[in-house]
Chains A and B, each alone.
Chain A
Amino acid sequence: MGGFIFRRVLYMIPTVFLVSIVTFIIIQLPPGDYLDSLAAEMGEAGVDNTAVVEQLREQYGLGQPMYLQYWKWMTGILLEGDFGISFEKNLPVTDVIWDRLGWTFAISLLTLGFIWAVALPIGIYSAVRKYSVGDYVATFFGFVGLAVPNFLLALVMMYVAFKYFGQSVGGLVSPEYLEQPWSWGKFVNLLQHIWMPVFVVGTSGAAALIRIMRANLLDELYRPYVVTARAKGMSEFQLLMRYPVRVALNPFISTIGWILPTLVSGEIIVAVVMNLPTTGPLLLRALLVQDMYLAGSLILIVSLLTVIGTLLSDVLLAWVDPRIRYQ
């Protein structure tokens, strides 16, 4: 087991290296850089600041060839934990992002919990009561959940919440709690708000998992070992939980690998709509104004954490399923 984990971590290194290169290429793709847009803005204001801009360019190393810039950025991150500077905010990237990344992952993990809590019982139910009314309802909602884009669902929920429940929408806490320190009231207020993004982001994932759970369990339900257990006189519920569900659960765990990237992606887009204090709006803004180190760091860290999440799901799967060989 230890060797298996070690090898998997070793495999991760080239992946992470590739991710960092791809990220850097992406943020370098747009023609020009932040200083160009800055110069354009200054030019509009009627100030001739060519000298200042040139000096800034020198300072940030923006005129250097790409591989040098990449080298500088990477060594900064690896050796000093320095992700560069956010041009727009004029702050080190590290000061800006950790808070927001925390929220993104908090919401993503909550969503994962939500998906499991919903998909597991419904999936089991629709497999055991195949072709019942409940199964059809679950299937139908599953398909609808897959068909509604996240941001559309977010808009509809905000509309309903605002129009019929009079709830303040957008953000994670009500405006009056924004600047306050953490308190019980703020926490309750947070709970009143956070369920909405969690629900919105989780719907499509839950829909997909219900289908997977149903299909897996249907494969197991009519196996001889189930008949044997039934013949022993086990109660139906106990039997279900002890044998077929446990076997059907394996693919369920392995899906964490692909579900995490989708959750993070979904969270980012929903955050823009709902105006959440997470990475989404920050990343969009950074990309639009070519705040390249900020955008790059965000993409890099989000991808990195996803890779780690995938690793965890592999390890978890190997631990749960004794049939998996650590080769």
Chain B
Amino acid sequence: MTAIDSATEVQAAESVKTPALLGPWALMWRQFRRHRVAYFSLFIVGFVYLVALFGEFLAPADYLKTNTRAPFAPPQGIHFLTQDEDGNSRFQLHSYGLKMEVDREAMRRHFVPDPEKTIPLGFFVKGYEYKLLWLIPTDRHFFGPKDPDQTVYFFGADRLGRDILSRIIMGTRISMSIGLVGVAVSLIVGVSLGGLSGYYGGWVDNAIQRLIEFLRSIPTIPLWMGLAAAIPLDWPPLRTYFVVTLIVSMIGWTTLAREVRGKFLSLRHEDFVVAARLDGLSDWEVIRKHLVPSFASHIIASLTLAVPLMILAETSLSFLGIGLQPPIVSWGTLLKEAQNIRTIIEAPWLLIAPGSVIVITVLALNFLGDGLRDAADPYAH
């Protein structure tokens, strides 16, 4: 009897749900999702990185292929219904071909859509060959003209008749990765120097703080310009890329170092740190096992906010012509094409397309960082 009673009691106790205990990361996620704009931005940023990863698959045309017959070709729209020989309307994605017209008064050629010529479009079409994710050789592309010999300029063409959309997609890889690599460099330098500064204090702290103040007091653009102009033009693209990344991350680490130092200063005398030290852990272990995890979320938030700054810096330098150089395609080198007002008036898409991509990406990254910063301390309030 008593045995049965206790058994049912146990069952009853099990059926009462113990409230789930959420760890700090789960709490942060919860807090983060409440910031709707930031949550939405997370998807945009994720999408942009996917574009960077699967660039060749998404690009409808070879981004390096020039076309002497389509300089400054305007963006071609996508139309839905075609008419076959019998005059019946049929659903078929297509674009109109381009017809060249000569404006005799202005002595200028320009293109108009030619409704006579239709170019059928489709998904998963054949195009130029490439290696998906640098591994799988294929020639399939997500969207484009069904005839591999045709080119449709969804975002228009540049001076040499290269497809702007494909160039933006391929430029995404360079521009977004500069942000990531730059932030990685800032992270390493910032956390080590900031950590040293905050953990040891004294003259180490003083020296590092003076160094940071000094770096911040120099106007960044002249400094960057000076350094970037020192990159020889005949360097291989990859080396230029890494040096530009280093230059761009030179200022970024200072903010991070200051933040880490502040955290170290406030945590240094907390009980759990003192306890860890009394347990005989070395300085490095205390930092790695106890201090860094306690402010990792703040670091992630500041890193997210640093990425857009680096992207903008790279864009500005490449735009001036002293950052990345033309065979490399980045958002900055794309905008360089739109440098003078005459070009912009003739071909506004050279400015609008890459410009809006930059603004949307940077905006999304800023919102994301903002949301992460708010969520970084879920125990507040």
Contact = CB atoms under 8 A, between A and B. Distances in A.
Interface of A: 15, 18-19, 22-23, 26-27, 29-31, 143-144, 146-152, 155-156, 158-159, 162-163, 169-170, 258, 261-262, 264-266, 268-269, 272-273, 283-284, 287-288, 295, 298-299, 302-303, 306-307, 310
Contacts of B230: 26, 29-30
8 contacts: A26-B226, A30-B232, A144-B363, A147-B363, A151-B316, A162-B341, A303-B218, A310-B217
Nearest to B220: A265
Interface stretch (B23-31, B131-139, B272-280, B344-352): B344-352
Interface in B185-227: 213-214, 216-223, 225-227
Given A19-B218, A299-B222, A159 B345 contact: yes
Contacts of A288: 229, 321-322
B320 interface: yes
Given A159-B348, A265-B220, A272-B320, A152 B225 contact: no
Contacts of B319: 149, 151, 269
Given A23-B226, A152-B359, A310-B217, A147 B315 contact: no
Interface in B315-365: 315-316, 319-322, 335, 338-339, 341, 344-345, 348, 351, 355, 358-359, 362-363
A299 B223 contact: yes
Given A30-B229, A152-B335, A162-B341, A269 B217 contact: no
Interface string B283-326: 00000000000000000000000001000100110011110000
Interface string B219-248: 111110111011010000000000000000
Contact of A269 (B221, B355, B362): B221
A265 B363 contact: no
A163 B229 CA distance: 34
A302 B218 CA distance: 8
B351 A155 contact: yes
A269 B226 contact: no
A44 to B, nearest CB: 17
Contacts of A19: 214, 217-218
B366 interface: yes
Contact of B362 (A18, A147, A264, A295): A147
Nearest to A258: B216
B175 to A, nearest CB: 12
B226 A299 contact: yes
B210 to A, nearest CB: 8
A155 B222 contact: no
A266 B367 CA distance: 23
A303 B222 contact: yes
Chain A to chain B: the 8 pairs with minimum beta-carbon distance, closest first: A265-B221, A29-B230, A287-B229, A26-B226, A147-B362, A147-B363, A261-B219, A264-B219
Contacts of A163: 345
Nearest to B354: A152
A143 B367 contact: yes
A26 B231 CA distance: 11
Contacts of B320: 269, 272, 284
A22 B229 CA distance: 15
A273 B227 CA distance: 20
Given A27-B226, A156-B355, A143 B219 contact: no
Interface string B247-271: 0000000000000000000000000
A261 B217 contact: yes
Contacts of B338: 155
Nearest to A30: B230
Nearest to B311: A149
Contact of B217 (A15, A29, A156, A170): A15
A27 B315 CA distance: 23
B316 A149 contact: yes
Contacts of A310: 217
Contacts of A146: 362, 366
Contacts of A170: 341
Contacts of A268: 219, 221-222, 225
A295 B143 CA distance: 49
A96 to B, nearest CB: 16
Given A146-B366, A268-B219, 12 more contacts: A15-B214, A26-B230, A143-B366, A143-B367, A147-B308, A148-B362, A151-B335, A152-B359, A158-B344, A163-B345, A264-B219, A265-B220
A283 B222 contact: yes
A182 B230 CA distance: 39
A303 B358 contact: no
B362 to A, nearest CB: 4
Nearest to A162: B341
B226 A287 contact: yes
Contacts of A156: 351, 355
Contacts of B322: 284, 287-288
B339 A302 contact: no
Given A30-B230, A147-B366, A149-B316, A298 B222 contact: yes
Given A155-B344, A306-B218, A26 B223 contact: yes
A144 B359 contact: yes
Which residue, of A269, A298, A310, has the highest number of chain B Cβ atoms within 10 A?
A: A269
A288 B220 CA distance: 18
A147 B44 CA distance: 15
Contacts of A27: 226
A132 B223 CA distance: 41
A271 to B, nearest CB: 10
Nearest to A108: B219
B215 to A, nearest CB: 9
Given A143-B366, A147-B363, A159-B345, A295 B217 contact: no
